[in-house]
Amino acid sequence: MNYLHNIGAYFLMIKDMFRRPTKWSVMKTLILKDIDDLVIGSLGIVAFISFFVGGVVAIQTSLNINNPLIPKNLIGFATRQSVILEFAPTFISIIIAGKVGSFITSSIGTMRVTEQIDALEVMGINALNYLVFPKLMAMLLYPFVIAIAMFLGIFGGYVACVYGGYSTSEDFINGVQLDFIPFHIVYAFIKTLVFAFVLATVPSFYGFFMRGGALEVGKASTTAFVWCSVVIILSNYLLTSIMLG
Short-list 111, 68, 114, 115, CA closest to 204: 111
Q: Counting runs of H as helices and runs of E as strands, what totals does the chain give?
A: 13, 0
Share of the chain above pLDDT 90, in %: 46
* Range scoring the smallest mean pLDDT among 62-66, 135-139, 220-224: 62-66
What single string gives the DSSP state of each residue in 42-93? GHHHHHHHHHHHHHHHHHHHHHT---TTS-THHHHHHHHHHIIIIIIIIIHH
pLDDT score recorded for residue 94: 93
**Amino acid identity, residue 240?**
T
pLDDT at 245 > cutoff 80: no
Q: Residue 2 — very low, low, confident or very high, per pLDDT cuts 50/70/90? A: confident
What value does the mean pLDDT take over residues 24-28?
89
pLDDT at 23 > cutoff 90: no
Q: Residue 1 — very low, low, confident or very high, per pLDDT cuts 50/70/90? A: low
Q: Can you tell me whether residue 25 is helix, strand or coil? A: helix
pLDDT in tens, 197-223: 999 999 999 998 888 877 888 888 888
pLDDT score recorded for residue 117: 85
**What are the distances in angstroms from CA 85 to CA 64, 79, 172, 185?**
21, 10, 18, 8
* Residues whose CB falls within 8 Å of the CB of residue 43, separated by 6 or more in sequence, listed in order: 145, 148
pLDDT at 122 > cutoff 90: no
pLDDT score recorded for residue 231: 93
Distance (Å, whole) CA 62 – CA 82: 14
pLDDT score recorded for residue 141: 92
